[in-house]
Structure 1
């Protein structure tokens, strides 16, 4: 019996990739850590655009106003990069993505485009005020990460666009940052809850800029804006100021990993702990 095979294209330049993206309905392949497990034992039935050979999309560089993380930058690349303290939370999240094999090939843009509520990279990037660069043949636009992620496994990516970079401003680059993840085991696990925090202190120890993000407790990871505002200008044990009311933004579900009430309890304690772990 004949088996239909799909088109598989692997350009070496961004322009080629954008032309292909504009002309068809190709599924984009980056690290493949979500793509391949979903197709085990099955022939490809959709056209595939493999962007892994586009060298310009990989790496981290400093810009005039911050940092540029190429879409194909892997979790191992992030862990090995010489980055300031504000990225410590992102590095810790990178170390909790799957195992070493996944970290070596999984990409930061793939993590965002998959748009899982439990995507490890999202909370720390939210605390860094990250934006997503989207490119097409005719234009480039930049969206805040919170606007790029529009719902459960939904993004604002258009059918003719590719994510080309994640842009991080320098405003929180030197902040103290933390990332905590709760799962059934230490590695190779989907989160029950996760928390990222970034706090910029002044010379007196007062919190001047605060970012708190919680993942795996809502369809999309959430910033705790009211909590952030309540902590600005405060010093001392900031974790003691966190209340359950600050987490009313969350909408956890019951599933095989945890009950919704357990997720909320865990998130509260993790936020308190992560804030306490951030030091001047």
Structure 2
């Protein structure tokens, strides 16, 4: 077994091309590995280029190995409050110190806390391999439960947020069987901009209510131009036809739909 911890992206890409298994924070990988990790392992945590948050002319760039604690403690625009709230609710402090945003996306759990806030920010993922880098909207990157559009030999290197999505204020609300250290029954993110007391832009996203988290463009269009209080009246379970919740050990599909509507109302009110 090879355990490699390179300090440059070039080295990491070469090792990834050889079929090494990627390790970042390990908070998803280790619990599912049993007694030991199998196969060759590529640890990305020593590569400075993969960690940190930088502002450019086109928006924000978040390195894939940026931890939840990094995100929670950073000084960021109000549009990213939802992402920071999610960061503060992922596991306990130990998980937040080790777990990474990129790992959360690549694990592709339907209940991944990072996904709804990033969808509400029109996030784009940067994928890098031996043939160079390519960009893909986050909505197209996660293709199903535990499935992504990562090609063989690629590494998720960054998440970028366009400047146009850094406006307004956002909020993240999740529901679980208890307040902390829990897999979500439903979770939502809302980003809202107001002009003269009316919603001039909004982005709504829901997770844990289908195979993948998703935006709600039809509902967004319905509440555009309304006051926040008027918008709350439009956010009903019937308006969430884009969701496809299931019955499982945590909740029924009907309960999830009702919960998602209530959480969205709370998130919109908080973001406004």
Q: TM-score, normalised by structure 1?
A: 0.94
Q: Does 1:213 align with 2:208?
A: no
Q: Does 1:81 align with 2:74?
A: yes
Structure 2 equivalent of residue 226 of structure 1? 218
Contact 1:172 1:200 in 2 (8 A): no
TM-superposed deviation, 1:256: 1.2
Q: In the alignment, is residue 102 of structure 1 matched against residue 104 of structure 2?
A: no
CA distance in 1, matches of 2:37, 2:255: 40
More deviation, 131-140/110-119: 131-140
Deviates more, 1:112-121 or 1:223-232: 223-232
Q: Do structure 1's residue 199 and structure 2's residue 192 form an aligned pair?
A: yes
1:154-165 to 2 correspondences below 5 Å? 154-165=147-158
- Aligned mates of 1:84, 1:171 — CA distance in 2: 12
- Equivalenced residue count is 271
* Equivalent residue, structure 2, for 1:177: 170
| Greater C-alpha radius of gyration | 1
Q: CA deviation at 1:103?
A: 0.3
Aligned equivalent of 2:142, options 133, 142, 149: 149
Distance 2:74 2:232 in 1: 30
SS at structure 1 position matched to 2:152: coil
Query: TM-score, length-normalised on structure 2?
Result: 0.97
Q: Is the 8 A contact 1:224 1:246 kept in 2?
A: no
CA distance in 2 between counterparts of 1:278 and 1:117 reads: 24
* Change in 2 beyond 3 A, CA 1:27/1:233: same
Secondary structure at the aligned position of 1:262 is classed as helix
Structure 1, unaligned runs of 5 or more: 1-5
Partner of 1:69: 62
Distance 1:141 1:236 in 2: 38
Closer/same/farther in 2, CA of residues 99 and 139 from structure 1, 3 Å limit: same
| Superposition deviation, residue 25 in structure 1 | 1.6
CA distance in 2, matches of 1:236, 1:173: 20
Question: What do the CA deviations read for 1:137-186 (whole angstroms, capped 9, x no partner)?
Answer: 22111000001011111100111110110000121313111100000111
More displaced stretch, 165-174 vs 69-78: 165-174
Residue deviations 1:56-98 (CA, integer Å, cap 9, x gap) = 1100000111100001000000011110100000000001100
Alignment partner for residue 53 of structure 2, among 60, 63, 66?
Answer: 60
Give the corresponding residue for 1:255: 248
